[in-house]
Amino acid sequence: MLGPLRIFALTAATMVAFAANSLLCRAALRGGAIDAVSFTAIRLASGALILAAITRAWRRGAGAGNHGSWRAAIALAAYAIAFSYAYLQLSAGAGALLLFGSVQLTMISGGLIRGERPSLRQWVGLAVAAAGMVVINLPSLDAPPPTGAALMITAGVGWGIYSLRGRGAKRPIQATAGNFVRCLPFTAVFGAIAIAYTAHVSSRGVALALTSGAVTSGLGYCLWYAVLPSLGAARAAIVQLSVPVIAAAGGIVLLDEPLRRHVAIGGAVILGGLALALWQRRVPAVPVRVAAAAEAGAT
């Protein structure tokens, strides 16, 4: 089991990778550098290739541990494919709320089924963070089209299942590599569709898709699988609500997006909810001499 500081560092790095993935997707698709189908196909294929290369180079313990599963791979493919289509049909606000809402519901429900019981403080913190999500996305909220909404909910459920499957991963790099490699048949079909119907590819779009697949997806998902066994389903679900805040900050710094009032207020509310939900009271250790004296007095 990982120590508290290492859990925090790995979780923070993972959320930064997820936020960077969001920025790369936004820059590629909204900028028209590449179509959604090609972006997803290149993203999954490059993630599989880089992770397979890392796994092959790092041979220690190659014969043991979790090498991924078809269930996790199908969930990952469902998330990536459904998200890429839904992204173009929904406004940013509606898409974010549908995605994160379905992720939270899937993961917390999965934890409850397996016997996890979130504390009252976690429920309150989740409610506060969810309210912050509404505030941060309020200006772009509108009634989503049914098809786009169904696709984004499918993406959220797929990601939630993929995350739940990662709680048993003993070797996160091998498990993530196995999942990405198993996605290759879906990627091939998806790529064929792109070539036949919707392909629109530029060098910039390919570069963004490769970076997303090899770095922020492939390596970021390895970090996620590394930290998931140390997080409960509820904590793993709640902490992902920090991604929109990090992505908003990244958009301001890297994409020259303005800092708007609703982003600042909503981000502060989300972070406050996360602090409330994730804070754990540390019980002070009893000094050995005091404990020994108390035991001697009792006898």
User: Each residue of 220-251: pLDDT tens digit?
Assistant: 999 999 899 888 888 899 999 999 889 888 88
**Whole-Å CA distances, 297 to 53, 251, 286, 287, 294:** 63, 62, 16, 15, 5
Question: How confident is the model over 204-227, as a mean pLDDT?
Answer: 91
Task: Mention every residue, 6+ apart, whose C-beta is less than 8 A from residue 291.
Answer: none
Sole residue written with tokens 């996360």:
274
Q: What are phi and psi of 34, to 5 degrees?
A: -160, 150
**Whole-Å CA distances, 30 to 92, 145, 216, 246:** 11, 19, 19, 19
State yes or no: pLDDT of 186 exceeds 80. Answer: yes
SS3 at position 239: helix
Question: How confident is the model over 95-113, as a mean pLDDT?
Answer: 89
- Let me know: does 218 contact 176? Beta carbons within 8 Å: yes
- Structure tokens, 249: 């900050």
Question: How confident is the model over 246-265, as a mean pLDDT?
Answer: 82
Picking from 198, 160, 18, the residue whose alpha carbon sits closest to that of residue 76 is 160
State yes or no: pLDDT of 294 exceeds 50. Answer: no
Q: What percent of the chain has pLDDT over 90?
A: 24
Question: How confident is the model over 60-78, as a mean pLDDT?
Answer: 73
Where residue 60 falls (left for φ over 0; alpha for ψ -120 to 50; beta otherwise) is beta
Picking from 288, 291, 281, 243, the residue whose alpha carbon sits closest to that of residue 4 is 281
State yes or no: pLDDT of 9 exceeds 50. Answer: yes
- Let me know: does 16 contact 56? Beta carbons within 8 Å: no
Residue 60: pLDDT band with limits 50, 70, 90: low
State yes or no: pLDDT of 138 exceeds 80. Answer: no
Q: How far apart are CA 129 and CA 200, in angstroms?
A: 38
Q: What are phi and psi of 168, to 5 degrees?
A: -100, 10
The amino acid at residue 272 is: G
Supply the pLDDT for residue 53. Answer: 84
State yes or no: pLDDT of 58 exceeds 80. Answer: no
